[in-house]
């Protein structure tokens, strides 16, 4: 990433040397230096590039015309050169990826590895807010007129949010206790597994279940989609016996 930013910064610095129509031409070294440092700051590569300004002086003879005598016109052109400071680059590269963790636990009760794992496994309340305001609960926008209905809707969706969180936590806890991962949740990649499935992915695994009702004469026939192995596995992780669904499917096959 740092190399990419350096490349973009050097390309922008090189463009400053292009004397084209409509582009600003710097005649003052201080102004050129300030503009170059602004580019370094924009690309966050300050201190990683060495800048050098070269001044070229060109003398051009001007012939006499009218009442103007012959003269020599002096033109000064500024060129900006940049070079990667390899020592500063190496120092910056060594610092990439470092993170600072602060905890009030002493080393005797919480090692660095445990602190990192605890931080990464922490519960983020913002995820719940995201679920509540977006998919799958979609609290907003709300098209209700009375405050009583708005309050009731929020209470109802907050209960649904608790169910989602509980479902997700229970499944993850069971997988962690069994040191297993759950495959089959990712469309197009059935072998990919995860030890931390989301509630949305778990529910999405049941979206292909259908109840078909057909009426022939005086009889009504029902057919319920049988459970897949993945669906049965999810129910077991949630402490729900698949036999409940199997009995429901058997009852649905009986004509009424």
Q: Do 70 and 139 fall within a single domain?
A: no
Q: Is the peptide bond before 136 cis (omega within 30 degrees of 0)?
A: yes
Residue 227: inside a domain: yes
Give the three-state DSSP class for 165: helix
Give the three-state DSSP class for 139: coil
Q: 252 pLDDT band (50/70/90 cuts)?
A: low
Q: Do 89 and 124 fall within a single domain?
A: no
Q: Do 8 and 89 fall within a single domain?
A: yes
Residue 85: inside a domain: yes
Q: Is residue 205 within 8 Å of 230, Cβ to Cβ? A: yes
Q: Do 76 and 34 fall within a single domain?
A: yes
Q: Do 21 and 90 fall within a single domain?
A: yes
Per mean pLDDT, which range of 34-38, 49-53, 65-69 is the poorest?
65-69
Residue 160: inside a domain: yes
What local confidence, expressed as pLDDT, does residue 167 receive? 92
Residue 197: inside a domain: no
At 163, give phi and psi (nearest 5°): -65, -45
Q: 182 pLDDT band (50/70/90 cuts)?
A: very high
Report the range out of 40-54, 212-226, 237-251 with the highest average pLDDT. 40-54
Summarize pLDDT for 190-212 with one digit per residue, the tens: 889 999 999 999 999 998 888 88
Mean pLDDT of 91-118: 82
| Calpha distance 124→238 (Å, rounded) | 22
Q: Do 176 and 138 fall within a single domain?
A: yes
Summarize pLDDT for 120-176 with one digit per residue, the tens: 776 667 777 788 887 778 877 667 778 888 888 889 988 988 999 899 999 999 999
Q: Do 25 and 88 fall within a single domain?
A: yes
Domain total of the chain: 3
Q: Which domain holds residue 229?
A: 205-253
Residue 72: inside a domain: yes
Among 95, 129, 149, residue at a domain's last position: 95
Residue 179: inside a domain: yes
Q: Do 171 and 228 fall within a single domain?
A: no
Summarize pLDDT for 140-153 with one digit per residue, the tens: 766 777 888 888 88
> For residue 88, which of 134, 147, 149, 47 has the smallest C-alpha distance?
47
Q: Do 55 and 129 fall within a single domain?
A: no
| Calpha distance 215→252 (Å, rounded) | 13
pTM to 2 decimals? 0.51
Residue 191: inside a domain: no
């Amino acid at each position: 990433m740092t190399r990419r930013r350096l490349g973009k910064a050097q390309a922008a610095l090189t463009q400053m040397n292009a004397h084209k129509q409509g582009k600003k031409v710097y005649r003052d070294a201080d102004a050129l230096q300030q503009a170059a440092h602004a580019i370094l700051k924009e690309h966050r590569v300050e201190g990683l590039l060495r800048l050098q300004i070269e001044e070229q002086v060109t003398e051009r003879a001007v012939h006499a015309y009218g009442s103007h005598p012959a003269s020599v016109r002096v033109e000064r052109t500024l060129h900006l050169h940049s070079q990667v400071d390899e020592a500063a680059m190496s120092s910056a590269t060594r610092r990439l990826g470092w993170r600072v963790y602060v905890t009030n636990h002493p080393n005797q009760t919480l090692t660095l590895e445990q602190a990192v794992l605890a931080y990464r496994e922490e519960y983020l309340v913002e995820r719940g807010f995201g679920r509540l305001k977006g998919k799958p609960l979609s609290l907003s926008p709300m098209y209700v007129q009375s405050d009583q209905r708005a309050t009731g809707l929020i209470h109802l969706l907050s209960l649904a949010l608790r169910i989602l969180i509980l479902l997700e936590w229970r499944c993850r806890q069971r997988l962690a206790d069994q040191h297993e991962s759950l495959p089959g949740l990712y469309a197009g990649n059935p072998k990919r597994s995860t030890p931390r499935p989301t509630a949305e992915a778990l529910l999405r695994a049941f979206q292909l279940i259908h109840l078909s009702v057909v009426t022939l004469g005086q009889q009504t026939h029902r057919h319920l989609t049988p459970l897949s192995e993945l669906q049965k596995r999810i129910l077991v992780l949630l402490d729900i016996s698949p036999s409940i669904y199997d009995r429901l499917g058997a009852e649905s096959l009986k004509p009424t």
